[in-house]
Amino acid sequence: MTTSHIINVTDQTFQKKVIEQSYTVPVVVDFWAEWCAPCRMLGPVLEKLATEYNGKFILAKIDVDKNQMMAQQFQIQGIPAVKGFVDGKVFNEFTGAKSEAQVRKFIDSLIPSKADLIAQQGHQWETSNQPDMAIMHYRQAIETDHEHYPAMVALGRVLIRQGNIDEAYAVLEKIPEGIKEYTMAKILKTTVQFQLTAEGHTENELTAKLASHANDVDSRYTYGCLLATQERFAEALEHFLEIVQYDRTYKDDAARKAMLVLFDMLGDDNTLTQKYRRLLASSLF
């Protein structure tokens, strides 16, 4: 069965009909074969939903026996294998026959909600250097979906840039631990704390204090925060590490916590993260 919403693809047409098309509409790829009984059960469910959703996604069917290159490229181990493509990449996937309700939930995960679309407009305004319009759209997205955590992170980010620190912090505090966006929210909240701690202090002032009083933990922590706001992460980590080594209890372990947030910010593969993680571990144990 083929319609404008249900197509057959091959190794040769996959790039154009799946990858490129997924930049404008989600594409659900059904890797199947004629001999596969579960495929015959799942296929009609996918086709029914493709017709029902009427263009909100494209169903692309590919016979793995006749198109082994794509099957190998996407490491298909068992069929039916279904992969949902968004913006040129696999966004979600499953293997095996599923109920209509399960397939519907899978498809819904690929399709932008009203809040998603509003947040996307906010991102466009943000990248166009129109922060007021970005803030308005991110707020609208959150009003539409009170648990739209990506919009909360984005709103917090723009508010911080605009100097609306208290509001930014209040928005970011609503993102609960365990949510994917929690780590970024934690990074942004710590960025706010760095800014507030460093506010009103200069590098010359703080280095002078440390030159005369090397054990001035308050000045060292403030200097570490100032360096972090300037993205001088190696120097910031060095000062925070010195505090951990000198006074682990300072401000409820603030220096160690600051280092952990900087590790999140830099990423696990960053050489600074790897170096200072080792140094921190050796300081603690």
Closest by CA to 111, choosing from 45, 56, 52, is: 56
Q: What is the pLDDT of residue 159?
A: 95
Q: Are 122 and 134 in contact (CB under 8 A)?
A: yes
Q: What is the pLDDT of residue 284?
A: 80
pLDDT at 13: 95
Sign of the Cα torsion 62, 64, 70, 71 reads positive
pLDDT at 1 over 60: no
Each residue of 10-40: pLDDT tens digit?
Answer: 999 999 999 999 999 999 999 999 999 999 9
- Mean local confidence (pLDDT), 84-89: 94
In tens, the pLDDT along 56-70 reads 999 999 999 999 999
What's the pLDDT at 285?
72
pLDDT at 144: 95
Give the rounded distance of the alpha carbon of 153 from its chain centre: 10
| Active-site annotation holds for 225 | no
Q: Provide the residue ranges of all domains of the chain, joining segments of one domain with +.
A: 6-110, 114-175, 197-283
Q: Which of 27, 36, 82, 244 is catalytic?
A: 36
- Rounded average pLDDT over 75-101: 93
> Phi and psi at residue 98, in whole multiples of 5°?
-130, 160
CA distance 29 to 84: 6
- In eight-state DSSP terms, residue 60 is E
Q: What sign results for the dihedral spanned by CA atoms 177, 181, 187, 189?
A: negative
Active site annotation includes 39: yes
pLDDT-based confidence at residue 4 (cuts at 50, 70, 90): confident
Q: What is the pLDDT of residues 221-258, one digit of tens each?
A: 999 999 999 999 999 999 999 999 999 899 999 999 99
Judge whether 114-175 and 197-283 match in fold: yes
Q: In whole angstroms, give the CA distance from residue 172 to residue 153.
A: 6
User: What is the secondary structure of 13-57 as a DSSP string?
Assistant: THIIIIIIGGGTS-EEEEEE-TT-HHHHHHHHHHHHHHHHHTTSS
Residue tagged active-site, from 9, 27, 29, 39: 39
CATH number for the region 197-283 comes to 1.25.40
Q: How far apart are alpha carbons 58 and 20 in whole angstroms?
A: 12
The class (CATH top level) of 114-175 is mainly alpha
Helix (H) or strand (E) holding 210: helix 203-212
pLDDT digits (tens, 9 = 90+) for 92-115: 999 999 999 999 999 999 998 899
- Please tell me the predicted confidence (pLDDT) of residue 129: 93
CATH number attached to the domain at 6-110: 3.40.30.10
User: b/e for 244-265, b at 16 or more Cβ within 10 A?
Assistant: beeeeebeeebbbbbbebbbeb
Put simply, whether the predicted model's pTM sits higher than 0.75 gets the answer no
**Average pLDDT value over all residues in the chain:** 93
Strand order in the sheet with 58-63: 6-8, 58-63, 27-32, 81-86, 89-95
pLDDT, tens digit, 9 for 90 and up, residues 192-214: 999 899 999 999 999 999 999 99
Beta carbons of 28 and 59 less than 8 angstroms apart? yes
Q: Distances in Å between the alpha carbon of 118 and those of 86, 127, 237, 244, 246?
A: 18, 14, 38, 44, 49
Tens digits of residue pLDDT in 121-147? 999 999 999 999 999 999 999 999 999
Q: Is the pLDDT of residue 2 over 70?
A: no
CA dist 123 and 137 (Å) reads 8
